[in-house]
Structure 1
Amino acid sequence: MNIKALDAVNAYSSALKNQGIAGPDEKIEKISPVGSAEAEGSASFGAILKESLSDAADSIAKSESVGIEALNKQADLVDVVTHVQNAEMVLETVVAVRDKVIAAYQDIIKMPI
């Protein structure tokens, strides 16, 4: 693995921890079926996906605003570089997840009925 892949894995892991989902090293105590009454209180996959995408959009928007602040000499160059790298890592993670979803969909389509 290269460094960018490790950064993406770390970003994905921290996103899971922020969502309250156990990481690969943590033990998941109980998983309830999607249609059960217990699952209604927890966040659905769609809600988690929507929140993750809005967080990605917020990160990219923040890097843009810090860049504009730097042009107006209101922000430091280090802050600009940090926010741009963060936005790049988030975008690469989103693209990697999208590619995996498309690959999984293609695998499902290829399954015999």
Structure 2
Amino acid sequence: MITAVNAANAYNAARSAVQPDMAAAPASVAKLGEAAQDFASQMAQVDAVSTSAMTGQTDTHQLVQTIAESQLAMETVVAIRDKVVEAYQEILRMPV
């Protein structure tokens, strides 16, 4: 019979098997955070250039170039998100 105590003990024993490698984690987490900051700054730049273009302070060519760059960044983020969701769904389909 499975009790809550037995389940908790089994979980505690198995936790080390699925725990991330702490030696490699800081570098990968830092790179992920850096990528998120780069994306946020790209979107902030688009907002600033768009506002400047509406007030006549920025050239139309600069606006189009910035929008094209932001579109590429957005497509990259969406592609990464799709891959993460696909991997998660694949994990969910694995037999236990």
TM-score (norm 2): 0.70
Tell me which of 34, 53, 56 is aligned to 2:21: 34
Matched residue, 1:72: 55
Q: How many residues align?
A: 77
Asked if 1:84 corresponds to 2:67, the answer is: yes
- Residue 38 of structure 2 aligns with an amino acid whose one-letter code is D
Q: How much does 1:54 deviate?
A: 1.5
Q: 1:106 is matched with which residue?
A: 89
Q: Which stretches in structure 2 are left out of the alignment for 5+ residues?
A: 1-19
Cα deviations by residue, 1:20-64 (Å, 9 ceiling, x for unpaired): xxxxxxxxxxxxx9344xx47x62x22222211121111011011
- Percent identity over the alignment is 38
CA RMSD of aligned residues (A): 1.9
Q: Distance in 1 between matches of 2:35 and 2:58?
A: 27
Give ranges in structure 1 of 5+ residues lacking alignment.
Answer: 1-32
* Structure 1 stretches of at least 4 aligned residues deviating more than 2 Å after TM superposition: 33-36
**Structure number with larger C-alpha Rg:** 2
**What residue in structure 2 maps to residue 26 of structure 1?**
none
Q: Name whichever structure is richer in helix by fraction.
A: 2
